[in-house]
Chains A and B, each alone.
Chain A
């Protein structure tokens, strides 16, 4: 199929290709002309660094590739290189992200912009390979900006946007671009691959602020043993991240002018006349859109709100999309054990003070470990929310989407595991 899609558009500003999510982010790193790629392999991220090491080995990409001995070293190398003024790209996944976790806070605190792709994979134990978002959301409070991609095109575009926003002197924070393992990383689909010259124009060379040079020593992330200083610097990071909202909107406008693809911090899908809105993020939002179409065919006024930019949290866009709606169903593909989904309380807090806030905000847990979400499960969650709204009641706990056939499978496997 690849050749049939491999056609140059009239005017020659881009090439259409069939790319996996992994290939798309590797292309983005190449087009961004990154200087340095520290790497350590982990399923399902490995394809990305294999592609980059291959290009660098063949001289098709002018960058330095170093395989580190762990993700902790990887992130340390990535952050320190960024502090010298290099444009740095790296990628990891799941256990790898957690293994390097303490360095996430350090890199953000050094105000060193770089782009880290996280290929989402559910966290052990029990161990698995398919995605949910407990890995990337564990990094939610670190200071990294977070872009969550639905498809290979967004994956490529978000890496370019992430560099532009992260390196902006009004922001100076690192960024994570999340792509779901398998469902995006190994899924090949149509991607518009931008021309190098256009990317160069959109993303000029990185101009660092006080870079560390051998001739001009700078101390980064200095010890501040006076509590008010710590408080001050930490809140500066927060304001930098809030600033990134405006910088993102500005960058997205420039991106649209250059590449004809428009990105808001959220995407509104069939929202205009919707009574019930499903809130989702990442690759499973595709399945959510498919379900919205099917539910509309059945006569339900349903829409979908996709969160693209998770940090900074796009409160204004979320309020604008959800105010006045009857029901909101927040599908969290993650679980804060002992609490419920991570995103739902953030959405609820954004809406709390509105006069015209939704009657029901239903917290839903679905797709953990990559579990499929069927149309029946989407339909069920919408019905539960609408029933609660008509009863003027609220949910007493999150709704787990889990099916009878899956329960039967679990029962039979538990029987095998217990020797029964």
Chain B
């Protein structure tokens, strides 16, 4: 069997969405780069499903499999007849590791779904890759336990071969003069980028404990907290990345930390 993997990363920080691709084939793989018609899509966070820059559902065809890591039922199903599976992988990661680290877990899910890779290979790979990254033996063992539980929590769906991207007409690019230069006139538009999708944990202000001291407002590194006319904080969940600096700094512990609040 032949395999190939490929990741797109560059300006990301810890917690930012990244995209990675895997190809499996009986014959040498001549494709490279992005996969435009995936047989499987695994999404680590339901808020990413409809992210306009990630677009994980684009190119999914009838019969392809969508796996979503979510603790709640994913209600919005794409219009195409895609097979939807979901499990609370973050919950398992919290159980085994105590943190929302998902690589070994989602890798194990993908291996099981394919029906081609044994649990032994999964364990060996997790051990080898994490050792190369310099993780302690204890942390590696926790990841192995997590990978094992994830592997056995899903059923194999069998591998489906995929085709090329759908045809689009080749066009003549027109010369646009001064409109064709890479100028950004609408500055300050980063507000359009909803970084709330990076969040795994959500800070929630409990007004009954809050004294309106404003420390959370000054400590938020993203400027996502504003104060209302009475001085109480309001969190902009479209852009809160869930770093929890506010919850850590709050002297009254009036900010609770919750997983996937209804608006996340």
Stretch at the interface among A254-262, A316-324, A332-340, A367-375: A367-375
The yes or no answer to A234 lying at the interface (CB within 8 A) is no
Contacts of A186 in B (CB 8 A): 6-7, 9
The answer to whether B33 touches A405 (Cβ under 8 A) is no
The answer to whether B30 touches A370 (Cβ under 8 A) is no
CA distance A186 to B22 in the complex (A): 12
CA distance A3 to B126 in the complex (A): 10
Q: Which of B10, B117, B164 contacts A4 (CB 8 A)?
A: B117
The answer to whether A404 touches B169 (Cβ under 8 A) is yes
The yes or no answer to A36 lying at the interface (CB within 8 A) is no
The answer to whether A374 touches B164 (Cβ under 8 A) is yes
The answer to whether B168 touches A376 (Cβ under 8 A) is yes
The yes or no answer to B1 lying at the interface (CB within 8 A) is yes
The answer to whether A2 touches B192 (Cβ under 8 A) is no
Residue with the highest number of chain B CB atoms closer than 10 Å, among A3, A129, A418, A419: A3
CA distance A126 to B182 in the complex (A): 7
The answer to whether A418 touches B33 (Cβ under 8 A) is no
Contacts of A402 in B (CB 8 A): 170-171, 173
B interface bracket (residues with beta carbon within 8 Å of A) = 35 or more
Q: Which of B3, B7, B9, B171 contacts A190 (CB 8 A)?
A: B3
- Tally A residues with Cβ within 8 Å of B: 47
CA distance A375 to B31 in the complex (A): 11
CA distance A81 to B125 in the complex (A): 39
Stretch at the interface among B84-92, B183-191, B200-208, B221-229: B183-191
The answer to whether B168 touches A403 (Cβ under 8 A) is yes
The answer to whether B185 touches A418 (Cβ under 8 A) is yes
Contacts of A44 in B (CB 8 A): 10
Chain A, residues 60-82, CB within 8 Å of chain B (1/0): the string is: 00000000000000000000000
Contacts of A4 in B (CB 8 A): 1, 117, 121
CA distance A372 to B171 in the complex (A): 15
The answer to whether B186 touches A417 (Cβ under 8 A) is yes
Chain A residues close to B by CB (< 8 Å)? 1-5, 18, 43-44, 125-126, 129, 182-184, 186-190, 283-284, 286-287, 289-290, 293-294, 370, 372, 374-377, 380, 400-407, 414, 416-419
Instruction: Pull 17 A–B residue pairs with CB atoms less than 8 Å apart, ordered by A.
Output: A1-B121, A2-B124, A5-B3, A183-B33, A187-B6, A188-B3, A189-B4, A290-B31, A294-B164, A374-B36, A374-B167, A380-B170, A400-B172, A403-B170, A404-B169, A407-B171, A417-B184
